Chain A
Amino acid sequence: MQNLLARRRLLVAACVCVMLVAACGPAPLGTGWPAVSLVESVCGEEARQGIIVSYNDRIVIVNPANGQTLQLLNQDCEPRPPDQDGKAKVWDFRVTGAQRQFFSNPQRLDDQTLLALSYDQRFFHLDIAAARSADGTEGIPIAGRSGHTVADMLVTDDMIYVGLSAKDLVALERDTFDVLWTAPTAHGVWAKPLLVENTIYFTSLDHFLYAVNAESGDLLWKLDVGGAATSTPLLYEDHLFLGTFGRKIFEITLDGEIINEYATVEWIWGTPVIVDDILYAADLGGNVYALDTNNNLSEIWRQTVATRAIRHTPLVVGDVIIVASRDQKIYWLNRANGSPVQDADGNPLVREVGGEILSDVMLITPGPSVDIEEPYVVVGTLAPGQLLLAYTLDNGENKWSYALP
């Protein structure tokens, strides 16, 4: 009996330990999601398009035609010979020896160089041809700053603008990374700034939309939008459009005056998109909206599409809207009314994947630099085994999936 009790106690203690370890990890919910964007590289006279993915400890470029990691080319634009283990040399960048994470999109500096910014605020110059960093494992820190960055940076001809997770937007000299000015905020800046002429517009979790002079950082105005904002404002016909955690979508003049607003069901995370004067947005409750920008943001239609959050900007192509959700599904909707597109069998065109989808949904179209026959829709998931998936735009046929090596 005593042994039995001792065993049971041991079992309970083990369960407690396992539960505590599982529940009390430093980042139990993870950090971010794969950042995906398109990048084009040129070898000789041939251009190649690739999908650049930044996620956790690596940045990779994937061939959109086949879902394979892009092979590195030599000077003759032929695939480089494999390494000593017989493995093909591919575009796979990792900082070895230091724990760096990447959740934002690298930005192009010139034909040969990408600039990546790690979660812990280190810059890395990446050679596009060689997938190597010129800045070692430590990268280049932002002087006088520590903490994290989740927002994409904005790179111009002479400056780099970076939103910091804790607070503030900083402007750096592009070549030296010297901090030129800081625009103070009360909370974090989690979205890429928008440059319009000589003004930087950016949102903050502190509930404000800011407009600052791009060169000096002087505050031009700030506007309380009633809730945290995590998206880049959309510029459309000299107005800014913005969704917030205050469950509102705003239309704002470039002088900081709200002229229209629309109440949503849940928080808006992503930037809206406007096509033919109709604004499309999705919220974290799985709702998709179509609003008339010519009629005071009046509702054209609203559909509850997904059971969980839709974070990204809806992808609008022709008569179709495509959204993807944390419920691990991709939905094809009719642009006219938000109803599901029917497949050949008359069923809603929905595709289920192996992980939550929080990344932006991309459209890859055939062209000289992309060897595909029809447009693909590419989504990134949180499942390492299906980090990227490509579907045909027309009928949702799965063309490939990319797993982390």
Chain B
Amino acid sequence: MWDLILNPFITVLTLLYTVFGNSAVIAIILFTILVRLIMYPLNTQQMKSSKAMQELQPEIKKLQEKYKNDREKLSQEQMRLYREKGINPLGGCLPLLIQLPIWIGLYQAINHALAATPLQLIDLSGRFMIPGMDRLVPLNNVWLGMDLTQAPTANPVYALVLPALVLVTSWVQSKMIAPPPMTGEDGAPNQAAAMTQSMTTIMPIMMGMFSLSFSVGLSIYFVVSNVISIVQYSRQPNFKWSSLWSGNRSQTGSTAPAAAIKAKTLKEKIEAEREARGRAELPEGDSSASTAKGEKPNGDVKSETPRPAKQKAKARK
């Protein structure tokens, strides 16, 4: 089954290698770009879906609080919300699942084509879909004095730049992809958010470590792939590079914006939360349509976000 993906990939990769002056590096770069371009619509759909889900989180949180004792009703309300917003809650998963075999195929194609080991080389036989291409085997695997089939540690010292690049680009990419950190009512990041944040730190380090033992050719693939993702994410509306370093991407479960979290005093925080509630409050009843800015919710729906007792007491004072 893998051959259906792998054989065309290896053929195209080798074709690019031939067309572009027998350079395996150029072939890897162009091939990665090509595959990512083909997957662009899927990736965009996944990003949109993921973003929409993120934007809906405050409202979901509200529903959870409202119906915390009625799970069935909560499910119904959430589904209603998704329906009304035109969001498929699993919409981000399908493109990911489609892309996954392609990513793996891409990775494996590069691994096969470079054929660093006897088993990899023997496995390359019979994979070319254009007659005569196998006479190109093995690909020229030396680039800037580095052996593309070997790990950076088995290459000249400057090859260690590549794992460093993998680490940096992975970090930037994971920071861009990671959803804004959700915070609890006390302003502290919730457990899931903390986990996500630590993953954005751990994963790039892991990728950098892996790159020390992977071949240089694969490091090039990782870097190119990461850069493409970074470019793609940076073109999203409302994206700001500064958000990678600042904490203003976070949001609380109570829909309070970043200002509430960043408020230095409790008073400022309460003010900010009040203001935020005024802007982003859910309307009452079954309707989840947005209310006008500053409009007070009506009916018997408790619209205020529950706050810790101490905080409430201080606010009254």
Contact = CB atoms under 8 A, between A and B. Distances in A.
Interface string A178-219: 000000001110100000000000000101000000000000
Interface stretch (A1-9, A41-49, A397-405): A1-9
B43 interface: no
Interface string B204-236: 000000100110000000000000000000000
Contact of A29 (B117, B125, B137, B214): B117
B90 A8 contact: yes
Contacts of A267: 125, 134
Interface stretch (A18-26, A58-66, A71-79, A292-300): A18-26
Given A19-B100, A147-B147, A147-B154, A309 B122 contact: yes
Interface string A25-36: 011111111000
Contacts of A5: 89-90
B64 A26 contact: no
A145 to B, nearest CB: 11
Nearest to A226: B135
B154 A26 contact: no
Interface stretch (B74-82, B260-268, B285-293, B297-305): B74-82
Contacts of B90: 5, 8
B126 interface: yes
A285 interface: yes
A9 B93 contact: yes
Contacts of B150: 147, 166
B137 A228 contact: yes
A interface, over-half SS: loop
A27 B117 contact: yes
Contacts of B137: 205, 227-228, 245
A29 B126 contact: no
Nearest to A9: B93
Contacts of A30: 117, 119
Contacts of B121: 230
Contacts of A33: 118-119
Interface stretch (B13-21, B104-112, B180-188): B104-112
Interface string B139-150: 010000001011
Contacts of B282: none
B112 to A, nearest CB: 8
A20 B104 contact: yes
A317 B100 CA distance: 50
A28 B111 contact: yes
Nearest to B150: A147
A103 B151 CA distance: 19
Contacts of A281: none
Interface in A275-322: 284-285, 309, 311
25 contacts: A1-B75, A2-B78, A5-B89, A8-B93, A23-B107, A26-B214, A28-B111, A29-B111, A29-B119, A32-B119, A146-B154, A166-B149, A187-B138, A190-B118, A205-B138, A207-B135, A226-B135, A227-B135, A245-B134, A267-B134, A284-B125, A284-B126, A326-B122, A358-B119, A358-B122
